[in-house]
Structure 1
Amino acid sequence: MSAGLLALLDDVAVIAKAAAASIDDVGVATSRASAKAAGVVIDDAAVTPSYVTGITPDRELPIIARITLGSLKNKLVFLLPGALLLSWLLPQAITPILMLGGAYLSYEGAEKVIEKLGGAKHGETLEEPISDPKKFEKERTQGAIRTDLILSAEIMAISLNEIATITEVFWVRAVALAIVGILITLVVYGAVALIVKMDDIGLALAERKSGIVQAIGRGLLRAMPRLLTTISLVGTIAMLWVGGGILLHGVEVLGVAAPAHWAHGIQHTVEHATGALAGVLGWASYAAISAVVGLAVGFVLVFVLHKLLRIGGEAH
């Protein structure tokens, strides 16, 4: 065998090893980034079911499918290339952009709190007759996709930050970020679809001949209204704590560290005082502080937009 052929085979082997290492980097980056983004994923799953509440059962899955496609478009068409380009060309712009998203989530959450407390309602709500079902469905779907854009931006930013610690190879970052976006979207909206169709599953089980199966079905039917109410509440709280958390972290990155340090100080104090429950209660304390920050910022934005600038009319 000629020396030239041996050299060529050696080069091919080196390329193959490099490719295998890169694929391994994609797997490691994907798993670590997904774990880091898990908190926001839970928030996303809690927020979304509220957007199909009040929709006729036959339209629930089609709406979730549209939201899923919108979420994939958000992540793969807009956020992935945008995140990669910003991290390459203007990394300092990522934090302010995320803070705008945090402010939007805080505004949305505060508006829902005000409505629940009897304040002015904006747009058609579930407490009122739905005069135009198609328009209502379109507005709910668009609202879900807008909220998903903010949560997806946070997921992609967290994921990219984690992936960047593993590899500097551009295409590996891009592939890993795309995989994270697709997997998280399918998991979140698969769970949402299961939640919103649980009453139909319960009804089907309640009609079976087996007494045990019927009991399970009736239990699901009784539990679903409470579960959906709870999920709606968790979704509102999630908007506030994610929004407030983004703002706390953002101002810290921009040089105003006192608010975030104060919040983390309370978190550490709770952790040291609670022993075995330190992790859960410490996280809960920081989440509660973040939610209060989000609510305060949201109240200010609602006042400015609705009262001063007159943006967004009351429901009629």
Structure 2
Amino acid sequence: MVSLLTLSTPEMNGAIEPLDLLFRAALLAGLGSRARSVITTLDTTQINHLSQRTCIDAGNPLLLSVKATQQRSLRVFRQSPTATPDSNFPRWIGTHYLPNGMTAHSITDTFFRNQTAAWEHTLAFAKSADRLAQFHHYHAILGLKGRIFQTSYESNSSDSHWVTWQLDRATSPAEAIAACQCAASLDAIQLLQDLFGRSILPRSGPWSLSCNLDASDPHLKLGTTLWARFPEASRKHQRMAAIVGQMGGDSRFGEALYKLLDSARFNHSTRIGRAVEVELCGDRAIDLEFYLSVPTL
């Protein structure tokens, strides 16, 4: 059995190559002999800083994530070397490697300032999923409170089509969540305050709100990159691990993965913990996803 402590032991900062980090992360996730195949799917020439950056990736083309309710597994997000037909839409490919040998894939397109193109792309996205009515419903609510930011779907699932709006500075997350007929904002804010170790001002964004077009009842994700503003210190990953444990996930794996990535930081200003999404359904938070940056050379 691979020791979590052995693999997460810090080495000289900057001494671990990105693909080696990914290999070690795969071992931590319990992939065993499949760990090597994970990195062979990534060409080292693809590990370059992005020409277009967002506050989520900060120009980093490789991210990992930890979900609070799940046991250890490897979730990898990389920018596709093949852009979408419109080069203004960077495409992120997500792959979820499970220890039982199964994999799941997601595709996320991110939009910048061209909202006309974003509208046309999202309209086609919703139409192809036969979810036009649901998209129009949520856009009528959130279109005046922000802008279309992302579309995302799982390629091997027919019920996981998401559209994300980036909220404007005048809109609080509680206001946007309530407008979507969801009563879980207090639960979400409390979890984020536990993660940050301090209270959150109503409009201390940036915030995003994702809506599942396939759900019969409101199924949302509240996202923020406020986490990236906190410097890397032990309390940052300890708070994340505590929430993972609280939600029923593998807290030891989550903290070990974070510490592995942190051990490879070659720049003290680099942030490993970049963004977090709180998944909401009904009147409670049902999951969180923590996005971690893989240091690149």
Larger RCO (alpha carbons 8 Å, 6+ apart): 1
TM-score, normalised on structure 2?
0.23
* Higher fraction of helix: 1
Q: Give the number of the structure whose alpha-carbon radius of gyration is greater.
A: 1
